[in-house]
């Protein structure tokens, strides 16, 4: 598996993956945040590729010098095979390179099912960001 930055040629397969994995409401919110993050800092949008197929993606953002895991999606056929962990690890390296003060996981209603992934990687409940105040990539 190769984890790399999003490229424009990834757009169609990536949106198809998101449509397959996310609910309609979550998909719409994610696409808005995805577009904003691409315009601000596309290096924090990563894709996982296996045999030239996009099998996962993660959107991160930096807000007030804190790194946030915003959304992760893995193709159903590749879940529980290390794709999610590979994406989280690669994005953590990018946050570390940028000297963020803290790394947090956005814990909105759509991310609740994947919080055990983060916990299995050593994140604690205190690392989950639950707030009525939305991140900049969500509010614009």
pLDDT at 140 over 80: no
Global pTM reads 0.91
pLDDT band at 129 (very low <50, low <70, confident <90, very high): confident
- 105-118 pLDDT, tens digit per residue, is 998 888 888 888 99
Give the single-character DSSP code of 134.
P
On whether the CB atoms of residues 104 and 123 are closer than 8 A, the answer is: no
**Tally of domains in the chain:** 1
- Cβ count within 10 A of residue 123: 18
- 37-87 pLDDT, tens digit per residue, is 999 999 999 999 999 999 999 999 999 999 999 999 999 999 999 999 999
Distance CA(107)–CA(54), nearest Å, equals 24
In three-state secondary structure terms, 57 is: strand
Q: CATH number for the domain including 105?
A: 3.40.630.30
Least confident residue range of 5-19, 40-54, 85-99, 126-140 = 126-140
**Cα 21 from chain centroid (whole Å):** 13
pLDDT at 132 over 70: no
Kindly tell me the burial class for residue 55, based on how many C-beta atoms sit within 10 Å of its own C-beta (0-12, 13-18, 19 or more). Answer: buried
Strand ranges (E), 11-65: 45-50, 53-63
Q: Provide the domain limits for residue 84.
A: 2-138
- 74-107 pLDDT, tens digit per residue, is 999 999 999 999 999 999 999 999 999 999 999 8
Distance CA(110)–CA(71), nearest Å, equals 9
């Amino acid at each position: 598996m190769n984890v790399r930055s999003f490229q424009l040629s990834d757009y169609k397969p990536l949106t198809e993956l998101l449509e397959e994995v996310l609910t309609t409401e979550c998909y719409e919110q994610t696409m808005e945040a995805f577009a904003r993050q691409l315009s601000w800092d596309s290096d924090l949008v990563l894709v996982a590729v296996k045999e030239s197929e996009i099998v996962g993606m993660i959107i991160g953002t930096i807000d007030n010098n804190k790194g946030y895991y915003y959304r992760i999606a893995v193709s159903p056929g590749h879940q529980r095979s290390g794709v999610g962990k590979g994406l989280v690890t690669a994005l953590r390296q990018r946050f570390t390179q940028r000297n963020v003060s803290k790394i947090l996981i956005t814990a909105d209603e759509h991310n609740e099912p994947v919080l055990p992934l983060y916990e299995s990687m050593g994140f604690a409940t205190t690392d989950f960001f639950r707030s009525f105040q939305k991140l900049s990539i969500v509010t614009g």
